[in-house]
Amino acid sequence: MTVVRRSAMRIAAFVVRHASPGCREWAEGLAREAEFIEDDWSALRWAIGSTRVLLDRREAPMTSLSEAAWKARHFLESLRRQNYNYLFFFWQALMHALRFFDVTSRQQRVGCILVVLAATYIVIFGVLWPRTVQLPPNDEDAEAWAFYYRRELQRRSSSRVFVGVFFSLAVYGVGLMLAERDGAGAHPILATSLGVILVCGASFFVWKRRQFQHQIDALDAILKETR
């Protein structure tokens, strides 16, 4: 086996090893096809092209009600763990509320107000909003847990939620800049960092919506089979 062929096989194996659970079969199929390509350089180009699979971080598809119920409980636990993350925004709201009385310029006061409003909204939305959906009364009712999971995914994939979260984060970032002395002009690194974070955050939300939709489609297929 030539060096080029070995490189192609190693790249294909790397893709299979690190592919997300939902894309593992896709990666394995691409790796098998690379083995049947006669030209070594064509096989290498094929293997390099297969690395696009690594960009699709998809969960393994659900195949039964019991698995859907397990994912629903795991999803609920992840929501409860996320409550600790909102302590950061609570702290930010408190600090900028106290800072409001120390700053002297109107720009900094406006920035403090924006940070307090945006951070407070994020905390209230993140902590209280998940409690608006009633949990299944019976822990053993797999179908009820599947419906609960679908409702939660449907709510979080809606455009209104996406726009609300992104807008609050954008207001929060703008408020941070205005709260600094002389604004973004005096802190170019901070301003650039906030801009990059907002762009990455928007990309993450779009990706997350796609992931939620894949899960919703899988749940619909499972629930349809049970009827």
Q: How confident is the model at residue 52 (pLDDT cuts 50, 70, 90)?
A: confident
Same domain, 201 and 106: yes
Examine the fold and report which residue of 11, 33, 55 is the final residue of a domain before the chain moves on.
55
Same domain, 87 and 48: no
- The reply to whether 133 falls in a domain is yes
- The reply to whether 60 falls in a domain is no
pLDDT of residue 116: 92
Same domain, 73 and 17: no
Same domain, 131 and 220: yes
**pLDDT surpasses 70 at 46:** yes
**pLDDT surpasses 80 at 120:** yes
**pLDDT surpasses 60 at 34:** yes
Q: Which domain holds residue 46?
A: 3-55
Concatenated DSSP letters for the chain? --HHHHHHHHHHHHHHHHS-GGGHHHHHHHHHHHHT--SHHHHHHHHHHGGGGGG---PPPP-SHHHHHHHHHHHHHHHHHHGGGHHHHHHHHHHHHHHTTT--SHHHHHHHHHHHHHHHHHHHHHHHGGGGSPPPS-TT-HHHHHHHHHHHHHHHTSHHHHHHHHHHHHHHHHHHHHHSTTGGGG-HHHHHHHHHHHHHHHHHHHHHHHHHHHHHHHHHHHHHHH-
* pLDDT greater at residue 141 or residue 79: 141
- The reply to whether 111 falls in a domain is yes
pLDDT tens across 58-73, in order?
666 677 778 788 888 8
**pLDDT surpasses 80 at 133:** no
Examine the fold and report which residue of 12, 32, 55 is the final residue of a domain before the chain moves on.
55
Same domain, 49 and 81: no
Structural domain count of the chain: 2
Same domain, 16 and 103: no
- The reply to whether 189 falls in a domain is yes
